Amino acid sequence: MSLGPTRIAALADRRVPALVRGWAPFVLVLVAYEAMRDLASMLGMPAHNLAGLDRTLFAGYQPTLVLQAAIGKLSDADLFEDVGSVVYAMHFLLPVAVGAWLWSKDRVAFRNFGLTLVVLCGLAFVTYVVAPTAPPWLAQPAAVRHLIEDAIQRSSLPSSLVWLYSQHDYNLYAAFPSLHAGFPVVAAAAAWGQNRKVGALLWVWAVIVWVAVVYLGEHYVADVIGGVVYAALAIAIVRGFTARMWRRPSPA
């Protein structure tokens, strides 16, 4: 049975508001990130360095330095830097892709996924403002190489894109907790409830991201642990909230 123009217009009228409401969390996350950057700089809180915590966790060793030294000896070290940089760059693409997949399968799961991301980012943003932390490459410039910078300068990207990256104004002191570590946890947990194979694949991806951000010098292991813990907390908060909403008696 074909749909007439009136029927199609009516469906469009209903779907557009649903689309706007559904994807609002992702827009909120981006807007909040930009606002947080300015707020953190205005307060002028001193930045912390978690290198000592990593050394405590690993008996005096720093995983970032160990990884960079070990891979730097390989003949194809540049390839590892390039692949790691691509993994790092997929930070915002992953939740959008998983969100689109959930949107097509289960709108309730999509809503909970978006809400979890907002809660995670809210917790992280508060931490960034009251307790800013520096990434390894910034905290230890004499010891830790900024591999993403090296990969970009070595790449064949148009000079305009390289300039845009170098001029981009972002919060340098937002290392703990690592949202690069937290986003894949939220994505994997959401996917696991829909499809175990997809969920398992995303858990593997999460581990790859964790290793990559430490190797690149963008995060300490302590940052990664913080990102995972914050993600688990956000998941628990949203699940508890939705469970209470389902138990709430409907008005007579």
158 vs 80, 86, 88, 150, 164, CA distance in Å?
21, 16, 19, 15, 10
CB 185 within 8 A of CB 227: yes
CB 110 within 8 A of CB 22: yes
Higher pLDDT, 22 or 148: 148
At 210 the pLDDT is 98
Output DSSP code: residue 173. S
Asked if omega into 177 is within 30° of 0 (cis), the reply is yes
pLDDT digits 0-9 by tens, 91-143:
888 988 999 999 888 989 998 998 899 899 889 988 988 899 999 999 999 99
pLDDT band at 166 (very low <50, low <70, confident <90, very high): low
Lookup result for tokens 């205005």:
42
pTM: 0.83
Q: Phi first, then psi: give them for residue 133, nearest 5 degrees.
A: -135, 145
- Sorted by sequence, the CB contacts under 8 Å of residue 34 that are 6+ apart come out as none
Report how far apart the first and last C-alpha atoms of the chain are (Å, whole number). 39
For 29-49, write each residue's pLDDT tens digit: 666 665 665 566 666 678 899
Nearest to 131 by CA among 225, 49, 221: 49
- CB 36, CB 125: distance < 8 Å: yes
> How far apart are the C-alpha atoms of 56 and 125, rounded to whole Å?
26
Between residues 21 and 216, the one the model is more confident about: 216
Half-sphere exposure of 231 (CA within 13 A, CB side): 23
CA atoms within 13 A on the CB side of 80: 19
Residue with tokens 């138990």: 247
CA angle, corner 75, sides to 70 and 80, nearest 5? 65
- What's at 193, amino acid-wise? G
